[in-house]
Structure 1
């Protein structure tokens, strides 16, 4: 039987190992696998068709708090004869500013075609953690994403789409952390939250290394987010610490284990027979997903301690888009129920 002391030592050893892996693999590597050119071209065609048919639209919304225009892409509800609810769906670390976004990497246009929910995707916010930064960053600029997403954007969307005012929020990777924090910060705004492959910690060594990898790895200074690493702001934005604020919401959290799963093979469109790309996905995406798996287990334990119901989904797999497409579909029934109750 393992003693308490040896158990703590084992836990610290695991934490140190995963933290070191995150620090190493995040230097010089893309975090996520992306679809091949052919798949992206087909998805672009489908999006163009949806735009032409009025099923999708691009919108520019001005943020007073950030003094910038923010591009928004929307998949409107299938039946617009009556007001419909809204799912805010966030991209990962790049914010949708490159090719790593829901429209280029997944079949979301087809998925949404028969859904009576408006899906709203901000196409900006790279490396920001979608939060309000305490300082303007010399590289990443002025970031007030909590203010934008919870105060400035919803009234515009509700008016433009004649929406019901019922909202949920979901996101991947970096935004998997953000959506939990946003739901905790604005509990009256969101009925449901879904986090896919996010590290739900900002006060632990692992959580802060994850933030450093995303923000610092792209030129930002993480002390401009919430102050020094021991400042109260880091604790105030830690989803595990503030998990009690999720009570009463529909909650879905998922993570791969980091071990190769059903999409990690040479025929995957993100790999397309490329052995080097396969090695990168498994060798880099695997350890990164193992880190989110560790974080997710901690959130899982905390929610159980608080007796807050949640759907937690673990499966073999890496930090890559095919799994997030699957998880959106798996979480949809829960999100839809929350939005229409």
Structure 2
């Protein structure tokens, strides 16, 4: 229980919040998901106008319905488009792990839509990102549906690896920053359950079923790692140490709380990520860049730094 409580806190509050920083260069793209709901994504066009180099940027557990966290809290879109990479930022998917759920969440609340803790239809994010969204992007912009990149932080980190594992033609590159890459480890399932309940009352059994359901194994990067090896996916795997650094300068009591929470969260992420690193090593897979800086907490400035360091490597692997 001593591990479970801090892990729950960490998972349920993946970074200090900030006011939306709308980027006027972004284009709103709407596509209808498998449930018939219109979902928004934000697209940032590559500086040179190409349509072959495309990357999807996935959000964390507290994904909002107005803008993707990468747009709210970072300027990575500017760096990516200047590297002649088209950026796709799906909007929404709070607590979803970007997966297809087996049932609507029915714990608390009554949102009456595809998002919220009492849903009229189950999440269908995996199908959306691999079917309806790329089809819309191809029709609207001519974007390639092959050899794309995908990266994400925390919840989005494990989801990025999932997409690369099961959809290798679409995704040839995947990056995970502070991801939870061993969700079958002791305490992880229970902590995720509590975290999702605390984040607007989502019922985790509606996602992958009870803890013994095989869907948990299907969505565990530690378990599906052989697929990444067999696909030859280029990976960028990163996690900080949990030790505060230049981006962590608390000026108030709430800042102190957020920094302390981010320290614990990142330490747990590092344990998960190191376990995944060992797993890949036992599989004999080395087509990976590991990024383990000596400092860094679970917060947006550190994840932005991950992207800046990743861009040169990713550029070599996402030509459609």
Cα deviation, residue 292, structure 1: 0.4
What is the correspondence of 1:247-266 to structure 2 with a 5 Å cutoff? 247=229, 248-266=232-250
Structure 1 partner of 2:29: 59
> Structure 1 residue 314 and structure 2 residue 292: aligned?
yes
Structure 1 partner of 2:105: 137
Distance, in Å, in 2 between the alignment partners of 1:297 and 1:254 is 9
Structure 2 partner of 1:151: 131
**1:206–1:326 Cα change, 3 Å:** farther
**1:299–1:158 Cα change, 3 Å:** same
Structure 1 partner of 2:43: 74
Distance, in Å, in 2 between the alignment partners of 1:174 and 1:243 is 17
Structure 2: give runs of 5+ residues left out of the alignment: 107-116
Say if 1:105 and 1:321, in contact at 8 Å, map to a contact too: yes
Cα deviation, residue 109, structure 1: 3.9
Say if 1:96 and 1:126, in contact at 8 Å, map to a contact too: yes
> Structure 1 residue 200 and structure 2 residue 203: aligned?
no
Find 1:34's aligned residue among 17, 29, 49.
17
Q: Please give the secondary structure, in 1, of the residue aligned with 2:307.
A: helix
**1:140–1:335 Cα change, 3 Å:** farther
Distance, in Å, in 2 between the alignment partners of 1:105 and 1:231 is 36
**1:263–1:94 Cα change, 3 Å:** same
Distance, in Å, in 2 between the alignment partners of 1:321 and 1:213 is 23
Divergent runs of 4+, >6 A? none
Structure 2 partner of 1:12: none
Cα deviation, residue 72, structure 1: 0.6
Cα deviation, residue 210, structure 1: 4.4
Q: Please give the secondary structure, in 2, of the residue aligned with 1:289.
A: helix
Structure 2 partner of 1:19: 4
- TM-score, normalised relative to structure 2: 0.88
Distance, in Å, in 2 between the alignment partners of 1:334 and 1:145 is 27
Cα deviation, residue 26, structure 1: 4.5
Aligned-residue Cα RMSD (Å) equals 2.0
Distance, in Å, in 1 between the alignment partners of 2:194 and 2:163 is 21
Say if 2:61 and 2:95, in contact at 8 Å, map to a contact too: yes
Cα deviations by residue, 1:200-222 (Å, 9 ceiling, x for unpaired): 12222243144224422221111
Distance, in Å, in 1 between the alignment partners of 2:5 and 2:284 is 32
Distance, in Å, in 1 between the alignment partners of 2:53 and 2:240 is 29
Distance, in Å, in 2 between the alignment partners of 1:60 and 1:99 is 13
**1:17–1:256 Cα change, 3 Å:** farther
Q: Which has the larger radius of gyration?
A: 1
